[in-house]
A and B are shown apart, each in its own frame.
Chain A
């Protein structure tokens, strides 16, 4: 197999592009796809300071590397969720990456800084661990970005993640979620910092390949909390379709973002936001002025964790 661009020996084939690439042309391809996604969706400007959400996995570390290569001013944010050895290892990958590239990495330790970990939060709130994880991460991303004066928060959601989320939302006709799913979630006057997803043109096989070919070590192990996650079932279903017709994911998500999403506008009622009475983060007025994150915390006190 030859590289489509330079005819050297290829190291990876990407069926949806009907192409194979050598190492250098593949890394260039990844950078170009991210640059294209940023431009296509007006995600951010060159002078802006971006907070990159870092998990220690392939997507977030590839994202941080590519944004840095493209010349963006970035800092990373790693949140230690207290998931035993998994968190210890992912923490180390995040720190090693930042140190190797001389980049700033901010660290939040959920147990120390908030008084509960994901398991404790899940037990006391009767929410699934993935829900507690998501609520906690969204809270801290926004808090650190807002207090640090960042222009945007970049997350490592890729083409496979976003197409699986879209499929799940459509299968359940969660039209308000469909209307809100986008490559960019704009900043609000109420305190939400803009969120961007620069990897939406890259599949997770590409981000894994990017890391290996760039010499980036990342945590390969799956989060032990993720087993049985329905997102995996939607990914598997899309893989069958992708195998039958390469490019299906790109058409599904790309078509939605370019001309499908607007048809759902209005499905999400405009929500009036107020400041959370506990932490001052923006939260829907209907939630008794206490945000979802803070509603996790008091219940966690009963499980023996200190207040944070």
Chain B
């Protein structure tokens, strides 16, 4: 599958990953630090993914001074 990652923008190509949780673990991404986007919806960490998927891991932490 193709996984779009941000800041900096890049694409990771992964195979043989069965769930979102496994995907995040493989990439070393904490589940609460991103939202996982497929199409126009979001995936929870128990959802299944396939090698054909295009997924975006979008970070949610913004850092401006409040």
Binding between chains A and B:
yes
Tell me the nearest residue of chain B to A215, going by C-beta: B40
- The docked-state distance in angstroms from the alpha carbon of A134 to that of B65 is 7
Tell me the nearest residue of chain B to A161, going by C-beta: B66
Segment touching B, from A11-19, A36-44, A184-192, A273-281 = A11-19
Q: Is the CB of B65 within 8 A of A212?
A: no
Scan residues 32-66 of chain B and give those whose CB is less than 8 A from a CB of chain A: 32-33, 35, 37, 40-47, 58-66
Nearest chain A CB to B3's CB is how many angstroms away? 15
Is B18 at the interface (CB under 8 A from chain A)? no
Nearest chain A CB to B53's CB is how many angstroms away? 15
Nearest chain B CB to A222's CB is how many angstroms away? 6
Is B30 at the interface (CB under 8 A from chain A)? yes
Is A10 at the interface (CB under 8 A from chain B)? yes
Main secondary structure of the interface of A (DSSP, over half): helix
Scan residues 1-45 of chain A and give those whose CB is less than 8 A from a CB of chain B: 1, 10-13, 15, 20, 23
| Among candidates A12, A133, A160, residue contacting B42 with C-beta atoms closer than 8 Å | A12
Which residues of B does A touch, CB under 8 Å? 6-7, 30, 32-33, 35, 37, 40-47, 58-66
Given contacts A12-B35, A229-B64, contact A222 B7 (CB under 8 A): yes
- The docked-state distance in angstroms from the alpha carbon of A257 to that of B63 is 23
Is A157 at the interface (CB under 8 A from chain B)? yes
- The docked-state distance in angstroms from the alpha carbon of A157 to that of B66 is 7
Nearest chain B CB to A284's CB is how many angstroms away? 20
- The docked-state distance in angstroms from the alpha carbon of A208 to that of B47 is 19
| Chain A positions within 8 Å of B59 at CB level | 220
| Chain B positions within 8 Å of A299 at CB level | none
| Chain B positions within 8 Å of A213 at CB level | 41-42
| Among candidates B7, B46, B66, residue contacting A162 with C-beta atoms closer than 8 Å | B66
